[in-house]
Structure 1
């Protein structure tokens, strides 16, 4: 499993250790601090505004970070929660055991430079009638697409990417108002079955739509598990099967607690439904 420490500009564990040692003894009252979310962390990396120059690091129980903990950070066993002051300056980093949200953050940060428009054609869509065309869009292949240049053939995934990216570029990232519930679910399926970089590129959009109620929470579980699986991590909600077998689950003993947090039934109920279907 390839796990990398998500720190800016590929800094090594040795450099991080020097930073931790330099600032570990500082303690200043900056007032209430706010934890950076995954979305905010990714945005700071994207904006090249992820700076640790004024950050104090400590472990969960308050002690200075040890050399062993730095090694565990490098291995991905531990991770860091970052806290900012009212000016947005990262003032504190709390080292703790890594969880799946850290893995997601690493995937998204590593994927920041991915350009979904590269080497794919622009396909034309009518945004006003897209809701009523989504089933057709989902099924269309290159040979069915009116006006498509047959002299520029694409593989299956590249053509699916062209459809997704063209819709987003021309209509904005779809929501339930644009596509309706059924059409939006169809669009999500297109992303769900795309290649890992494209899925990572739109993951936070899917998460946003789930939070807004446009997509149900099962879609977030399915996309999270598939994104983790496609990037070499264990799944966490138990939604993914591989060759008819349940793909390995991280902390399988607590999977039903995570499923319950999204309003999903137990894993046993889910698997019974999948087998029954």
Structure 2
């Protein structure tokens, strides 16, 4: 799990583009670009590419250092992957991602995560240690100035699915609250279809008192948002493409949202949205 393999076939990771713009786009010589069909096959077969020797370039052909690209946001950029005759990636061309690119990256992630996995040799007596390690890995790369590594999310998901399949859903009688929250974190950061698949199990755990109801509320809102349906608790915010500012994602029954939030242990929506400088002035019906 700790081996850092860059999974470009799954995520088409993009980084900042260093260069002066050129009218003529650079194309590597004696290399060919991997097709979408090949990338889909790699995702389905869980085939990983080792990129230690690959060179990153911008659309003008200028080399970009790996130290520089590791510090930058991965969501807005796309990588074209060029391989030699042996199928080894030699060059990665960075360009601005289009809406089609973003949709394709999501498709690859979904294909990889949905692929059936075989139960690994998990020792159920060590599930406390396993969940503690997963919690640590998930949170460390999402805090401070650490680099986001999508491989960690993939490996965490595989481990959690295996643990549940072999040992059953843990309870607070077996593990502590932080270890239980590790399970929620992994599914919250997974593909939406996987969230929906495991949501009933997580919701039942919340009813049993093993997971916070507030966490399940956040997951339900996220599922609804990705399904392009109105959310219930107001936990999801999105960027406005015109203003580049945060705004509240579509919310049903706005006048009673605080009542619903209180039922699951969440603070008033107007207070919650302050962290994104969003004002919520809808009068609440008590």
Q: TM-score range by the shorter chain?
A: 0.3 to 0.5
Hey, which of these two has a bigger chunk of helix by percent? 1
Per the normalisation by structure 2, the TM-score is 0.46
